[in-house]
Amino acid sequence: MSVATEILTRAIVSDDNRLLVARERGNSWVFLPGGHVEPGEPIEAALVRELAEELGTTSRIVGFAGVVEHRYTDNGTAHHEINLIFNTELDGTPESQEEHLEFVWLPIHQLHATDLRPRALKDVVASAARSVWYPWNG
């Protein structure tokens, strides 16, 4: 079975010991805001674009947090993704711009008991201040 690799970029947005997470309406699990990188699009530009589309706010990347490779099956279809995660600050109040998504502030102390997917993101959030990123042509 052939599986295409998807490149995604995700944001760690925190505020007063809370983490901004996304949930697809009807699901119990959560994920970090962000989305797919378009072919030829710089990773950081993709994250800023995705956050504007999802949250209706501008943002700025303040550091690289890590990479999570993930493979899963959904409705019989295999997926393989590379998640590039960045510490990010928002310039306004996030409000969902997507009918199928809701965004909530999760208290950091509840992270261990939360179904954050992919699961390895919990480790990235916990160690987000220790990574290095060299941007496109940087």
Give residue-wise pLDDT tens across range 73-82.
888 889 899 9
Residue 58 in any domain: the answer is yes
Q: Is the dihedral of CA 137, 90, 23, 107 positive or negative?
A: positive
Q: How many distinct structural domains can be found in the chain?
A: 1
pTM tops 0.95, yes or no: no
pLDDT of 134 strictly over 70: no
> 80-130 pLDDT, tens per residue?
999 999 999 999 999 999 999 999 999 999 999 999 999 999 989 988 756
Residue 137 in any domain: the answer is no
pLDDT of amino acid 131: 61
Residue 49 in any domain: the answer is yes
> 48-60 pLDDT, tens per residue?
999 999 999 999 9
Residue 25 lies in domain? 5-130
The rounded distance, in Å, linking the Cα atoms of 59 and 88 is 7
Residue 56 sits in a domain whose CATH number is 3.90.79.10
Task: Annotate 39-108 with three-state secondary structure.
Answer: CCCCHHHHHHHHHHHHHCCCEEEEEEEEEEEEEEEECCEEEEEEEEEEEEEECCCCCCCCCCEEEEEEEH
Residue 135 in any domain: the answer is no
Residue 136 in any domain: the answer is no
Residue 138 in any domain: the answer is no
pLDDT of amino acid 77: 87
pLDDT of amino acid 76: 86
